[in-house]
């Protein structure tokens, strides 16, 4: 189906099947602030969270690589989160702060920065690896500071191994399952993985052909995030922000153009 017939559909990526989706998330504590960074196939973003030890006193974001022209204004939306207590649970943060009004990725980075601000750890890095699917599935991993936290055989959108998790969906219903199955660092890693796995599906599509086209045609995304809110969706255009890290994992979180 062509773009003209369905704006939510892109041409298949001819390179899919031989590559790897990679996402890196790095959290760095400094005096009175946390730098949270994310880079993957389509995104390169940073959030600086300032705090006084009790609550958020300032937030700013940088968006060096985004998939739409409208994404770049999302940094201003973070200002409404100033004043958030550092002690607020992740569940309460997501339920009270209207995530769809924000850039999904900047919001997630802010949530991770909140958690990192109080744990007394200088630096934490997560790396998500999702190979292009083939055959009966692929082994997908998330590491924390180089150590494997979760390694699952996934087919389609379902975990096949380990046997204890077999049949568990990775997308719809995953979060409610994960909060019962894991806790602490294992839970955080599982949630970071799920966000990356969701974006990894974009490797199936060739986005360069959509560059410069209006994002409003992608109706399935309307209302989902900052760029697709009614007040700005008609002005947004697609950007070809794609980078392939399949063969160069060392480049993730270098933010090279």
Q: What is the pLDDT of residues 79-135, one digit of tens each?
A: 999 999 999 988 888 887 778 889 999 999 999 999 999 998 999 999 999 999 988
Q: Which helix (H) or strand (E) holds 111?
A: helix 104-117
Q: Is 8 a residue whose pLDDT tops 70?
A: no
Q: What is the pLDDT of residues 49-59, one digit of tens each?
A: 999 999 999 99
Q: Is 4 a residue whose pLDDT tops 50?
A: no
The whole-number pLDDT of residue 219 equals 86
Q: How many CB atoms lie within 10 A of CB 120?
A: 7
CA distances (Å), origin 120, targets 29, 30, 117, 123? 8, 10, 7, 9
- What mean pLDDT do residues 137-162 have? 97
The whole-number pLDDT of residue 2 equals 35
Structure tokens at 234: 């008609």
Q: Which helix (H) or strand (E) holds 64?
A: strand 56-65
3-state secondary structure of 192: helix
Tell me the average pLDDT of the chain: 91
Q: What is the DSSP letter of 249?
A: G
Contacts of 162 (CB under 8 A, 6+ apart): 152
- What mean pLDDT do residues 181-198 have? 96
The whole-number pLDDT of residue 196 equals 97
Q: Is 6 a residue whose pLDDT tops 50?
A: no
Structure tokens at 74: 């999302």
């Amino acid at each position: 189906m062509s773009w003209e017939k369905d704006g939510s559909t892109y041409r298949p990526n001819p390179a899919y099947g031989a590559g790897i989706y990679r996402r890196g998330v790095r959290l760095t504590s400094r005096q009175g602030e946390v730098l949270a960074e994310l880079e993957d196939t389509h995104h390169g973003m940073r959030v600086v969270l300032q705090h006084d030890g009790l609550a958020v006193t300032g937030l700013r974001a940088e968006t060096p690589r985004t998939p739409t022209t409208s994404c770049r204004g999302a940094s201003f939306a973070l200002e409404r989160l100033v004043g958030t207590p550092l002690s607020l649970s992740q569940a309460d943060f997501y339920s009270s702060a209207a995530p769809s009004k924000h850039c999904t990725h900047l919001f997630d980075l802010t949530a991770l920065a909140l958690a990192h601000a109080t744990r007394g750890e200088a630096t934490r890095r997560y790396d998500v690896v999702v190979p292009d699917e083939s055959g009966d599935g692929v082994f997908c991993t998330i590491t924390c500071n180089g150590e494997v936290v979760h390694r699952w055989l996934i087919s389609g959108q379902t975990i096949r191994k380990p046997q204890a998790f077999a049949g568990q969906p990775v997308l719809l219903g995953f979060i409610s399952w994960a909060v019962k199955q894991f806790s602490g660092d294992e839970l955080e890693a599982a949630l970071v993985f799920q966000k990356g796995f969701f974006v990894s599906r974009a490797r199936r599509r060739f986005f360069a052909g959509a560059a410069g086209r209006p994002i409003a045609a992608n109706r399935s995304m309307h209302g989902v995030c900052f760029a697709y809110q009614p007040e700005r969706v008609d002005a947004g255009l697609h950007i070809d922000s794609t980078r392939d890290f399949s063969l160069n994992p060392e480049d993730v979180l270098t933010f090279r153009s």
